[in-house]
Structure 1
Amino acid sequence: MRKHAMAACLLMATLSVCAQTHEKDSLRVINLQEVEVISTRATGTTPVAFTNVSKEQLKKQNFGQDLPYLLSMIPSAITTSDAGAGIGYTTLRIRGTDGTRINVTANGIPINDAESHTVFWVNLPDFASSVKDLQVQRGAGTSTNGAGAFGGSINMQTGDFSLKPYAEINASYGSFNTHKETVKVGTGLINEHWSFDVRLSNISSDGYIDRASVGLNSYYAQGGYYNDNTSVKLITFGGKERTYHAWNYASKDQMAVFGRRFNSCGYMYIGDKSGGIHQPEIDYDYGVKEADQLIKNGGTFHFYDDQTDNYVQKNYHLLVNHTFTPQWRLNAGLHYTTGDGYYQEYKIGRKLVEYGMKPYEVSGENVTKSDLVRKKAMDNWFGGGIFSVSYTNDRLNASLGGGLNRYDGDHFGKVLWVKNYLGQLNPDNDYYRNNATKNDGNIYLKANYELGGGVSAYADLQYRHITYKMHGRNDKWNDDTNALQTLHIEDKFDFFNPKAGLFWQINTNNRLYGSFSVAHKEPTRNNYTDGKLTEHPKAERLFDYELGYTFANSWLNLGANLYYMDYKNQLVLTGEKNEIGEAVAANVPDSYRMGIELMAGLKLNCGFQWDINATFSRNRVENFSETLYEWEDPTTEAWKIDRGNTPISFSPDFILNNRFSYTYRGFEASLQSQYVSKQYMTNAKRDDQILDAYFVSNLNLAYTFKLPRMKSVIVGCTIYNLFNETYENNGFAGSGYSLNDAGEKERYSYATYAAQAGTNVLGHISLSF
């Protein structure tokens, strides 16, 4: 704790956000149009909080970790990793809100999964290598396509074309057998109108957590035609992933006995020296003690080798840009995405009836429960179109835009193996199958008008309509009906999201802005299926108030942003997880997030740069009522406890990011650090369900030089978690009750933690031709 306090005090003493540089591509000096859909982005006079991140900034960190980890210097942002080293299943949270509430687009096209609203970065391996730049907006932000932004949005633009042919090879290797290989080639401009680019990537890691292996492959290809007024670009990108499950995390008891890297996913049994098989319930304290004794007596854990998640995703974008006059411009895009994947897992002692199977006899004993291997799969497509028409003159910048998208997905499951089963398993038989469709349309009109005296007014009006349907048999067992859930959900939503604000350019160096925004968001698939199907989750509403100030000159940047986010029916994380390792959320009637984001950047002529930002926040559920269910029979009377105003789960009150960097000729060094205060894992403010505060630093060293026939060579090394901090950045927790002999209620609690790697190293090299 002293280490955390000293680190925080040291960095707080000089509180300040990254001075983001805006690199201009050399292509802008020629009269060719690049294909961009940027109407959803904020500009320098838009009264919202945002950060621009350039291609160069991403490249300096892109050695294998997923994109969320490359954005860890963004104000109010924190990351999580299941495998413990930033590769595989990772997430980004902004202002305490989870990834299902962060809108993500690429070239203006929605990337969030239409049902879960999650961006599965594991399905987009090394996408950062094909990003030209991106913008992260905090809060409701500007109107965009796809799922509503309730904590932030990420707007990515893919790569420009190059005037000249090029080739680039990047490779890295390091701890946990982690390695990444990327090859990029481009034709340059052909016949003054055509250009083609291709990228291939491979990423693999054994992971920090036991067996949390990751195998990722991806590609990106684009071809474009350009003339003075029109440009057309066809883009395709995709990824294939195979990851071993690591989403159970580990309890403190498990870590103490089996080590911090312990992973219970795929657990089958413990075999003793005489060939006996034992299956202690290692998710509980008494089971851990039994397992520990078995291991001490020479027993060995046995895990299922194919406890893996497998998915293939392919994306196709067709983008058109046309300039009618210097004032009028059209952007349009068509998109189509396919997804096909499954995961397998070993389950112990499952009821056969839940899988549509009848009991069977073994040695004269009637078997109603058995170990089995199940496969859960999905097959889906997502397609649609977006557009924007922009008008610009000396005082007015206006855009009319929108999009229409459709999703269609099948969810189904099969039983692959049953222990000692005497019957014949039909590999084509589905024990559950359901279909979901979703239509999502929106239209927006936004304008920024210069009133005079450096003052401009901003208005943004959006209408969004969603229909969502689910039909069929689900994978969850319903104790009330003694059958699998039957889905018959048909919901529709109509949202009006107005936004308005003022921006004041006080003088060359000083700017002031303020805004008010309304945002709405529909529930996700899990919000329906994790709760009672007779009680549909409610849509959320957000009133977002923002007030900011910035100062900038040639060597110093300062900024402050105050925010108050007032929610109605916010879907907050409960701390629990469902059976497939996904976080459970539930509506709370009233809640808020408020805080101040402080930012600064100092850049000196000697090559030294200092970027720092901090967020002080207060995140609360008002009048929270905790509901506990009886352990043996969840259908019995619930135990309700009024907690008053409580901290929102996974929402730290303080986040601090700091980076020192120094360049001298070809040498560059940077030390990046993050401090995150403690986080409650539930909304009940329980001291036994906390993620402790942590302070983590990464050191990057690189040297750039030239060789004959080569543009540049960069060699370097990154040391992650330089000071070997022992910490966890995610977890699951919950509580219930049982009845003692006297019939009195007794509370029980549980918590598991996502342990992160200690000091680890990646060496890297980049060759440019």
Structure 2
Amino acid sequence: MKNLFAFLALLVLSTLVNAQDKPQDSTSVETLDEVLVKAVRVEATSPITHSNVTKAQLQKRNLGQDIPVLLNYLPSVVTTTDAGAGVGYTGIRIRGINAQSTNITINGIPYNDAESLGTFWVNLGDFASSVESLQLQRGVGTSTNGSGAFGASINVLTDAVSNEANAEISNSFGSYNTRKHTVKFSTGLLNDHFEVAGRLSQIKSDGYIDRASSDLKSYFLQAAYVDNNTLIKALTFGGKEVTYQAWYGLEDLDLLENNRTFNVAGIYTDEQGNTRFHNNEVDNYNQDHYQLHWNQRFNSNWSTNLGLNYTYGRGYFEQYKEDEDFADYNLEEITIGGETIATTDLIRRRWLDNDFYVANANANYKDEGLSLTFGTSYSSYDGDHFGEIIWARYASDSEIEDHYYDGNGKKKDFSSFIKATYRLNDKFSLYGDLQWRLVDYKTTGLTSDRIPFNVNENYSFFNPKAGVTYRLNKTNHLYLSYARANREPNRDDFENNAVVKPEQLNDFELGWRHDNSNFRLYANLYYMHYNEQLVLTGNIDNVGNPVRTNSGESYRFGLEVEAAIKLTDDFSIQPNFTLSSNKNKETIASIDGDLVNLGKTNISFSPDFVGANALIFQPNQNLQLSFLSKYVGEQYMGNTEAKASKLKSYFVNDFNITYQISFQDKESQPFFKSIVFSGLVNNMFNEKYISNGYYYTYDDTWSDPNQITTIEGAGYYPQATTNFLIGATLKF
């Protein structure tokens, strides 16, 4: 509780972004770059709860940490990282909603993995350096492409076309041997129409957790043609990541207290009985994206966008396994010296090799009273899953490059939508949004545990949305909205559940926006009613993926408040907080061999209070100092409110400084236009906190054959104590 009181006290006194950093929701003239994301974004006065983040805001803390960590201070956001320091595998939850239920698009193209529905930012290292802006919508939001938004969506727009030639070199260094190296360039407009721009990046880190290293290489290349009414962009971006596994967390409470960086991944015992760690217990994955966008403006009213995408992903994770049964790998027992051998130590790789195609087509109409967008999207995914043994102490009858399992997943997703905002008069505007979505998912072959896996499911979803905005006066708006979302299960859901159903959400939002030059206050109430929500059970599978299950009826009811206050010309504050109640209406669990009705219980990983705050001091346009705070209340990792599943609350504080030296005089200007120095101290008060974990149970039937005893267990992901990053950017 003392952390909560400290945070509330700080909230009263302080917070973030000054007026110069205030995000602009819309412009009077929409650029052709913005048409790329018009189909999946909303305007400032729409009845959809959202936050906008600009390139300038991202760059202040972009020293190598992943995009989820850079969004940590937005309302209702909770982030975590396996390696503990924000580099590598990171995750984001919004309103307690897991990553599998958050829709991500890049330039309107779906980015969520088609089968797992998850988002792996690790495959796009330093992607923040190529982001022009992003919009985070909380709740169902507007219609979007790909798997439906089921409580939140993040819509990313990549770098806009630059009119002038420029280049920059960025380098940063910090704790745990973390370093980021980035080179960017743009030719500017050649012959007033053509631009080529690009980026190369490498991020490396040893990680806070032992051996949880990351080596992330990425690129971004863009060629564009632009005139007054046409924008054609050809983009390719992607990356290669090699990260040492840290997804098992830490279950030993003694280690958690005395050696919290210990990593069990890769551990084994050699022939002499010594404890060792496999040096290549890594996740190794490549992902390349190719996009083509054609935006056309016909007149002041009509514009269109055509988007095409191909994504190629391939890679594996490697594991050292001890005493594995030959039968689990389709191998025959062998006899050596009269002894039958049925087990072996081995090193295996589990592979993914997939292709993903997308086509989007949208048209937009806008006049003084009506804004109308309609379009369609089609995607096709084909993914191979297979396993290889690359070394074995006893190889049995295996051959080089043998596959011990093979499986395939195919998914086709078609959607069409029409949405409109109509201004009735100076006070009222109406919003309507209708989406139809068809999903076809088929699997064949075996799972990684060599279990036959055959799914053949077709889903047809209708997702209506409606809302109204009332303009009280120039600075105050009220809005009310309703939205429905339906979402299919993912591959893991089918593997982990005998029966799994699609989930449905009805989302009600009531909000007030007050906005003037010195004071901004947004407040909204939300009620999200679920039918068969796929909630996290708390458990993870043998590769660290979260296990989900249908929960019948459930709901999330909350109040979100965010503000920005300019106290003086130099000092501004911006707090935000979320108070919520997140409940399964009825939870039935097996405890000691009996089915027990626990009644209404808390939904897993859904804290009742989340708050963020920042104090911004900017004495001049070149220097900014920010003190950032984050409080996350206690939460359960399971749905039974078991004491062993509780994660404690935590309160962490960061400090960020940026200083820019500009060279305005061209005659005395060196080779570059400006130098920007950045510094970030994370967790400056050395809080030993845990942001994520897992909880599981199993029945002990062997200790006492006449009794069933339910055994509980939990694992935790410790986050880094005080650490720092410093960097410099040379802009040419």
| TM-score tier after normalising by the smaller chain length | over 0.9
User: What letter matches 1:460 in structure 2?
Assistant: D
Match of 2:606 among 643, 651, 657: 651
* Deviation for aligned residue 1:473: 1.6
User: Relative to 1, partners in 2 of residues 1:164 and 1:685: Cα closer, same or farther, differing over 3 Å?
Assistant: same
Q: 1:583-605 CA distances to partner (integer Å, 9 max, x unpaired)?
A: 00001111111100011111244
Equivalent of 2:343 in 369, 372, 377 = 369
Structure 1: how far apart are the matches of 2:252 and 2:630? 24
Q: Take 1:33 and 1:171, find their aligned partners in 2: how far apart are those partners?
A: 28
Hey, what does 1:762 align to over in structure 2?
Answer: 725
- Distance across 2 between alignment mates of 1:316 and 1:7: 48
Tell me which residue corresponds to 1:579.
542
Please state if 1:65 is matched with 2:65. Answer: yes
Secondary structure of the equivalent of 1:431? strand
**Count of residues paired in the alignment:** 722
CA contact (8 A) 1:417 1:425 kept: no
Partner of 1:241: 241
Residues 2-41 of structure 1 correspond to what in structure 2 (within 5 A)? 2=2, 4-13=3-12, 21-22=22-23, 36-41=36-41
Q: 1:548 to 1:14 in 2, by over 3 A?
A: farther
Question: Which of these residues, 627, 636, 650, is aligned with residue 671 of structure 1?
Answer: 627
Instruction: Please list the CA deviations of residues 418-451 of structure 1 after superposition, one character each: whole Å capped at 9, or x if unmatched.
Output: 22x1635312211110111100010000011111
Deviation for aligned residue 1:301 = 2.9
The whole-number CA distance in structure 2 between the counterparts of 1:620 and 1:369 is: 46
Separation in 2, partners of 1:132, 1:172: 21
- CA positional deviation for 1:514: 0.4
What are the within-5 Å matches in structure 2 for residues 69-218 of structure 1? 69-218=69-218
RMSD over aligned Cα atoms: 2.0
How far off its partner does 1:368 sit? 2.2
Partner of 1:506: 472
State how far apart, in whole Å, the 1-side matches of 2:152 and 2:612 are. Answer: 18
Given the alignment, which residue of 435, 444, 451 partners 1:462?
Answer: 435
Deviation at 1:7, TM superposition (A): 1.7
Give the one of 634, 642, 645 matched to 1:686: 642
- Partners of 1:31 and 1:543 lie apart in 2 by 34
Using the alignment, how far apart are the partners of 2:55 and 2:674 within structure 1?
17
> 2:384: which partner in 1?
410
- Please tell me the residue identity of whatever aligns with 1:657: A
Residue aligning to 2:412: 439
Is 1:538 matched up with 2:501? yes
> For residues 426 and 25 of structure 2, what CA distance do their matches in structure 1 show?
29
- Post-superposition offset of 1:118: 0.8
Are residues 766 and 82 of structure 1, via their aligned partners in 2, closer, same or farther at CA, if it must alter by over 3 Å? same
* Residue 10 (structure 2) pairs with residue 48 (structure 1): no
How far did 1:335 drift?
0.6
Q: Deviations over 1:535-560 (max 9, x none)?
A: 3x100000000000011111000111
Amino acid of the residue matched to residue 467 of structure 1? D
- Asked if residue 336 in structure 1 is aligned to residue 302 in structure 2, the reply is no
C-alpha separation between the residues in 1 aligned to 2:385 and 2:591?
Answer: 30
- Aligned-pair CA distance for 1:743: 1.0
Deviations 1:226-282 (A, max 9, x none): 12221111010011000001011002435257610011010112x6xxx831xxxxx
Q: Tell me by how many angstroms 1:742 deviates.
A: 6.1
**Deviation (angstroms), 1:561:** 0.6
Q: Deviations over 1:445-497 (max 9, x none)?
A: 00111111411010000000000000112212xxxxxxx31122110000000
Is the alpha carbon distance of 1:588 and 1:17 closer, same or farther for their aligned partners in structure 2, counting shifts above 3 Å? farther
Segments of structure 1 that go 5 or more residues without pairing to the other structure are 278-299, 477-483, 630-637
Q: Do the aligned residues in 2 keep the contact of 1:15 with 1:613 (CA within 8 Å)?
A: no
TM-fit CA distance, 1:371: 2.0
Q: Which residue of the other structure, out of 476, 486, 489, is the alignment partner of 2:455?
A: 489
Taking the aligned partners of 1:737 and 1:12, their CA distance within structure 2 comes to: 45
1:42 and 1:80 map into 2 onto residues whose CA distance is 28
Question: Which of 625, 634, 642 pairs up with 2:597?
Answer: 642
TM-score (norm 2): 0.96
- Which residue of structure 2 lines up, in the alignment, with residue 293 of structure 1? none
* Corresponding residue for residue 395 of structure 1: 369
Q: Equivalents in 2 of 1:694, 1:17: separation in Å?
A: 20
Per-residue Cα deviation, 1:562-615 (whole angstroms, up to 9, x for no partner): 000000000000010111110000011111111000111112442211111000
Displacement of 1:741: 2.9
2:251 match: 251
- Report Cα offsets for 1:695-739 as digits up to 9, x if no partner: 011101222113523221111321110000001111111112213
Cα distance in 2, alignment partners of residues 692 and 370 from structure 1? 41
Instruction: Name the aligned partner's letter for residue 103 of structure 1.
Output: N
Measure, in 2, the Cα distance between the counterparts of 1:245 and 1:402: 39
Residue in 2 that maps onto 1:304: 278
CA deviation vs aligned residue, 1:124-161 (integer Å, no higher than 9, x gap) = 11111111001000000000001111120001111111
- CA–CA separation in structure 2 for the residues paired with 1:362 and 1:151: 58
Q: Whole-Å Cα distance in 1 between the matches of residues 355 and 535 of structure 2?
A: 28
Rounded Cα–Cα distance in structure 1 between residues aligned with 2:99 and 2:692: 13
Distance change (3 Å), C-alpha of 1:492 and 1:24: closer
Specify whether residues 430 and 667 from structure 1 end up closer, same or farther in structure 2 by C-alpha distance, changes over 3 A only.
Answer: same
1:378 aligned residue: 352
Native 8 Å contact 2:15 2:616 kept in 1: no
1:17–1:598 CA contact under 8 A, matched in 2: no
1:741 aligns with 2:704: yes
CA drift at 1:23: 5.7
Contact kept, 8 Å, 1:346 with 1:374, in 2: the verdict is yes
Matched residue, 2:654: 698
Alignment partner, residue 714 of structure 1? 676
Partner of 2:689: 727
CA apart distance, 1:14: 5.6
Q: Distance in 1 between matches of 2:336 and 2:540?
A: 35
Q: 1:24 to 1:518 in 2, by over 3 A?
A: closer
- 1:630-682 CA-partner distances (Å, limit 9, x unpaired): xxxxxxxx642221111111111100100111112222110111000011011
- Indicate the larger mover: 344-353 or 643-652: 344-353
Q: Of 326, 333, 349, which aligns to 2:323?
A: 349
Distance 1:24 1:135 in 2: 9
| Cα distance, 1:428–1:256 mapped onto 2, change above 3 Å | closer
Partner of 1:316: 290
Partner of 2:491: 525
1:588-667, aligned counterparts within 5 Å?
588-627=551-590, 639-665=594-620, 666-667=622-623
Maintained 8 Å contact 2:487/2:502? yes
Deviations along 1:365-402, one digit per CA (max 9) or x if unpaired, are 32223322111001101012111111111111111112
The more displaced of 615-624 and 16-25 is 16-25
Give the Cα–Cα distance (whole angstroms) in 1 for the partners of residues 80 and 688 of structure 2: 15
TM-score for the superposition, normalised by structure 1: 0.91
Q: 1:505 to 1:260 in 2, by over 3 A?
A: same
Paired position in structure 1 for 2:267 = 267
Three-state SS of the structure 2 residue aligned to 1:452 is: coil
Could you tell me which amino acid in structure 2 is paired with residue 250 of structure 1? Answer: L
Q: Distance in 1 between matches of 2:544 and 2:426?
A: 55
Which piece of structure 1 moves more, 255-264 or 391-400? 255-264
Secondary structure at 1:466's aligned position in 2?
strand
* In 1, Cα distance between equivalents of 2:396 and 2:31: 71
Counterpart AA for 2:22: T
Do structure 1's residue 358 and structure 2's residue 359 form an aligned pair? no
| Residue 430 of structure 1, aligned match among 381, 403, 408 | 403
Q: 2:406 & 2:610 partners in 1: Cα distance?
A: 43
Partner letter of residue 229 of structure 1?
A: N
